[in-house]
């Protein structure tokens, strides 16, 4: 299944009588719940990045700003949402899939789920395509916890990243904005800069006009040039806290490339542990 679905395809899917469509609203940030209740795609259930899609520790040096929850906790969330092995899950946000929508997609894939897609263009694009909107809240039909007990996609920890920063066989891709990578600004974390040895490939490069993903062939050409002949096990993607990095993994999957490793702690963890910091003039 293509990891992306267009708004137009979603409208058609929503009209099918035998559909088992599960819409997930993953918008985040200040007053996200209030914005969901003011207007969301009809039938969409809201998930909270901070509480549903992460297990945030008191000390952010341990795992960064958005460490993954335990598999059993995510399995329970899927059950509470009513997601079963037969559901067709489509998730959206209002950041072109660059934030919590891509994270939810990655977590579903890491749970072994196949029939999950991210809405290309996000919330606004669906409204423009005349997908019906709704207000208030939607009531899920709870099911049993989703049957999985371990993440099935590989992640790496801080020590593993530290061990390969100077190894030319490995490729570290930093998807944050270029000025954050260069160390010119850092609006979120405590220290500006990047992991030594990492290259900058901002996630915005995945997008074309209107905030839609580039065509698969363009994404494949771009990333094939960047990663060369490296095995997926030697490609590590990271961002600020392991969320936006999933946007680039989604882009690679859309291009038909194998999914690389995710450093979930990312810069938010690395920069809080007294490790070397790279800066570019």
Cβ-Cβ contacts under 8 Å for 246 (sequence gap 6 or more): 102, 103, 105, 106, 262
Cβ-Cβ contacts under 8 Å for 55 (sequence gap 6 or more): 63, 67, 68, 69, 70, 73
Please give the Cα distance from 269 to 234 (Å, whole number).
20
Cβ-Cβ contacts under 8 Å for 61 (sequence gap 6 or more): 269, 272, 273
Among residues 89, 126, 239, 261, the one annotated as catalytic is: 239
Count the Cβ atoms, other than its own, within 10 Å of residue 67.
Answer: 20
Is the torsion defined by CA of 151, 205, 257, 95 positive or negative? positive
Please give the Cα distance from 159 to 162 (Å, whole number).
5
Beta strands in the chain (DSSP E): 4-5, 21-25, 40-41, 45-46, 88-92, 116-119, 133-134, 155-156, 171-174, 199-200, 235-238, 261-263
Decide if 239 is catalytic: yes
Give me the active site residues, please: 239
């Amino acid at each position: 299944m293509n990891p992306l679905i267009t708004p137009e395809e979603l409208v058609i899917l929503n009209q099918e009588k035998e559909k088992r469509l599960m819409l997930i609203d993953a918008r985040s940030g200040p007053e996200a719940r209030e914005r969901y209740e003011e207007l969301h795609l009809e039938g969409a259930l809201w998930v909270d990045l901070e509480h549903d899609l992460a297990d945030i520790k008191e000390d952010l040096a341990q795992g960064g700003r958005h460490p993954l929850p335990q598999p059993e906790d995510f399995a329970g969330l899927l059950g509470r949402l009513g997601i079963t092995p037969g559901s067709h899950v489509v998730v959206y946000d209002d950041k072109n899939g660059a934030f919590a929508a891509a994270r939810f997609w990655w977590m579903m894939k890491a749970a072994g789920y196949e029939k999950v897609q991210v809405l290309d263009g996000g919330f606004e694009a669906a409204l423009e395509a005349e997908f019906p909107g709704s207000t208030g809240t939607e009531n899920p039909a709870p099911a049993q916890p989703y049957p999985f007990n371990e993440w099935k996609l590989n992640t790496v920890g801080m020590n593993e990243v530290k061990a390969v920063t100077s190894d030319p066989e490995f490729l570290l891709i930093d998807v944050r904005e270029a000025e954050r990578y260069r160390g010119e600004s850092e609006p979120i974390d405590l220290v500006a800069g990047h992991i030594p040895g990492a290259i900058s490939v901002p996630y915005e490069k995945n997008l074309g006009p209107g905030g839609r993903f580039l065509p698969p062939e363009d994404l494949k050409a771009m990333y094939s040039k960047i990663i060369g002949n490296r095995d997926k096990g030697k490609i590590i993607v990271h961002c600020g806290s392991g969320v936006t990095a999933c946007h680039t993994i989604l882009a690679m999957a859309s291009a038909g490339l194998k999914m690389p490793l995710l450093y979930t702690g990312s810069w938010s963890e690395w920069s809080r542990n007294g490790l070397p910091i790279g800066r570019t003039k």
